[in-house]
Amino acid sequence: MSTQTATSISANLTASATVTGERGRGTVLCLIVHDELELRLRLAGLVRRAMPKVDADTVTRAGFDAITVERLRAYVAVMLIVEFSPPDAAAASLGSLKRLHEQVPSLPVFVFARGGNERSAARAMKLGASDYWPIHSVIVGELCSALQPLVEPPASGAGATNAAVERWRQPEVAGYTMMKKIAQSSAASVYLARNSDFPQPVALKIEAITGEHVVSEADRERFKKECAILSKLNHRSIANVLDFGTTDDYLYLALEYFPCGSLRERLKHPVSEADAVNYAHQIGEALQIVHAARVVHRDLKPSNLMLTNENRLVLIDFGSARTQFLPSELAKGGDCTGTPYYVCPEQIEDQDPDARGDLYSLGVVLYEMLCGTLPFMGKSVPDILAGHRSAPVPRLPDNLAAYQSLIDRLLAKSPKDRYASAAEFLDALDALRAELVTLKISKPQRSN
């Protein structure tokens, strides 16, 4: 290494310490990498806010590439600020990420993206990133959650009640390192986690057995059923089960992680007609596999459809699923487990839906993808449910009217008026697509 390069690195590595003041005893260090000093220092300040025990050295990308592996081991994490616009701008930074992961695989690397999207996140995670944030929307609490396991061992000596609450907030499952909470419901949390047995991060779904959210025997049976169903459905359109089990405190289920997010996030932006039809076809294929195993999902909705970096949808969350051959008295629970916006009429009436109930939910999703709004809305849940029960199927805009026959069949109030199976729906969709292509080809071209 040249004297000039070493001097440059030294200057960069001390920049944040000069701005933020003298480091206190016990402070641990992370390393921030980017060519703009101002941006590096802004992120360093955010790190200090999130975790006061963590300070930051900062360095340019060229300086970072010259740092030895021994020097890198002094840091608890590396934070790469990556420019994803224009598209070729990220190549060098992602190359550095790949080399770092190969050289020091145990060192967490957090990517902060400028100009990135879901595909950028997927690229970064595949190359070894431990976490990913758009630089303009970093949440201090999330950053704190990512850093805390790196610098603070679990507290000991707390009272039983506080320990139970703390375990719920920061669960411990042998073999897994929690990196970030990515979803939360009243009964369960989903964490991005690492396990040395798997090459990529996993989505770890956890339900607390004791404490604030007590898991009943029925809940345990439902959990076992979800694991059994998912393990049986070995298909590219169904999430892979990597591991599941119980501890003294938790039920846990490890699934493949989808860094591109769900269809719900995708629907925050307009979906093209072509993408809507493609997604509907993929959902139909997933349901065909599920129904062939005599399973009814019963909670089909955009947040349960995850996107891969190949723009492929994968069906997840079978916590509400039922096998059709179970005696109905085992399934009766007096509750409607579907989501109000996507639930079928018979489910509202507390009847056990068959495969045609999932097709109704698919109709709601297809309408939402095409129109950008839901078919049945209301100011309250009863209003929404009333729409499913009795409101007429809404009309599509004129430019999408070709799909009205599909929507009418899928959203029919009576199951007998819907498609009899996912295979029948797929046949109808394929026939319609072929018809539309033929019409487009045969349509006379305008002369200039």
Quick one: three-class SS letters along the chain?
CCHHHHHHHHHHHHHHHHHHCCCCCCCEEEEEECCCHHHHHHHHHHHHHHCCCEEEEEECHHHHHHCCHHHHCCCCEEEEEEECCCHHHHHHHHHHHHHHHHHCCCCCEEEEEECCCHHHHHHHHHCCCCEEEEHHHCCHHHHHHHHHHHHCCCCCCCCHHHHHHHHHHCCCCCCEEEEEEEEECCCEEEEEEEECCCCCCEEEEEEECCCCCCCCHHHHHHHHHHHHHHHHCCCCCECCEEEEEECCCEEEEEEECCCCCEHHHHCCCCCCHHHHHHHHHHHHHHHHHHHHCCEECCCCCHHHEEECCCCCEEECCCCCCEECCCCHHHHCCCCCCCCCCCCCHHHHCCCCCCHHHHHHHHHHHHHHHHHCCCCCCCCCHHHHHHHHHHCCCCCCCHHHHHHHHHHHHHCCCCHHHCCCCHHHHHHHHHHHHHHHHHHHHHCCCCCC
Residue 207: its pLDDT value, please? 79
For domain 3-149, give its CATH number from 3.40.50.300, 3.40.50.2300, 3.20.20.70, 3.30.465.10. Answer: 3.40.50.2300
CA 276, CA 190: separation in Å to the nearest integer?
Answer: 28
Residue 319: its pLDDT value, please? 59
Residue 89: its pLDDT value, please? 73
Q: Where in the chain is the domain with CATH 3.40.50.2300?
A: 3-149
CA 403, CA 12: separation in Å to the nearest integer?
Answer: 59
Q: Give pLDDT tens digits along the chain (448 positions).
A: 443 433 333 344 444 333 333 444 346 889 999 988 888 888 888 888 888 888 889 999 888 988 888 888 889 999 999 888 776 778 888 888 888 888 888 889 999 988 776 667 777 888 888 888 887 777 777 788 788 888 765 544 444 434 333 433 467 888 998 887 777 665 677 888 889 888 888 888 887 776 555 667 777 777 777 777 777 777 888 888 888 888 877 888 888 888 788 898 889 889 999 999 999 999 999 999 999 888 888 889 998 899 988 889 999 876 555 554 333 332 333 334 446 899 999 988 878 889 999 999 999 999 999 999 999 998 888 889 999 999 999 999 999 999 999 999 999 999 999 999 999 999 999 999 999 988 888 766 655 5
- Tell which phi-psi region holds residue 238, choosing left (phi > 0), alpha (psi between -120 and 50) or beta: beta
Active site residues: 299
For domain 263-442, give its CATH number from 1.10.10.10, 3.40.50.300, 1.10.510.10, 3.40.50.360. Answer: 1.10.510.10
What does pLDDT average to over the chain? 79
Do residues 40 and 15 touch, judged by C-beta distance below 8 A?
A: yes
Residue 358: its pLDDT value, please? 95
CA 33, CA 40: separation in Å to the nearest integer?
Answer: 7
Buried b (16+ CB within 10 A) or exposed e, 241-268: bbbbeeeebbbbbbbbbbbbbbbeebbe
Q: Where in the chain is the domain with CATH 3.30.200.20?
A: 169-256
Do residues 350 and 357 touch, judged by C-beta distance below 8 A?
A: no
Edge to edge, the sheet with strand 188-195 lists 176-184, 188-195, 202-208, 250-256, 241-246
Residue 202 β-bridge partners: 193, 256
| CATH T-level fold of 169-256 | Phosphorylase Kinase; domain 1 (3.30.200)
pTM value is 0.58
Q: Where in the chain is the domain with CATH 1.10.510.10?
A: 263-442
Residue 7 structure tokens: 């001097």
Residue 277: its pLDDT value, please? 97
Residue 164: its pLDDT value, please? 36
Burial class of residue 206, CB neighbours in 10 A (0-12, 13-18, 19+):
buried
pLDDT per residue over 264-279, tens digit each? Answer: 888 988 999 999 999 9
